[in-house]
Amino acid sequence: MNYTWNIIQMDCYPQAEGEVNVVWNAVWKLSATDGITTCYITGNQPLTYVAGTPYTPYNELTEAQVVGWVQAAMGASAIAANEKIVSDLVVETVVPATYQPPLPWAGA
């Protein structure tokens, strides 16, 4: 299973801790694919900027940088749990756990 993390929205404070456009929340999308089927989930991760730590101006942020913040704030166990959720969706799409076949007396 291959996973891709994307940032689809960022919420900012106009000013915080002496900086402008400080990201306080990131909305993410996690996709999983088995090479044929792709599924995704979304969520949000609150973020905290601490005065005095390195600051990147909003217009210089990269998606990789913000994904790193999200994953660091989320932690390894939450990352693994979300990746399991989305990979289970791919498996369920390919081989459904249940389905509704036609009623045997409804045809013929």
In the chain, domain spans: 2-94
Confidence of residue 106 (pLDDT cuts 50, 70, 90): confident
Whether 34 contacts 53, CB under 8 Å: no
* pLDDT 10s digits, 53-95: 999 999 999 999 999 999 999 999 999 999 999 999 999 888 8
Do the Cβ atoms of 46 and 75 come closer than 8 Å? no
| Element at 91 (helix H, strand E) | helix 76-94
Angle between helices 76-94 and 63-74 (to 10 degrees): 100
Q: What is the pLDDT of residues 33-64, one digit of tens each?
A: 999 999 999 999 999 999 999 999 999 999 99
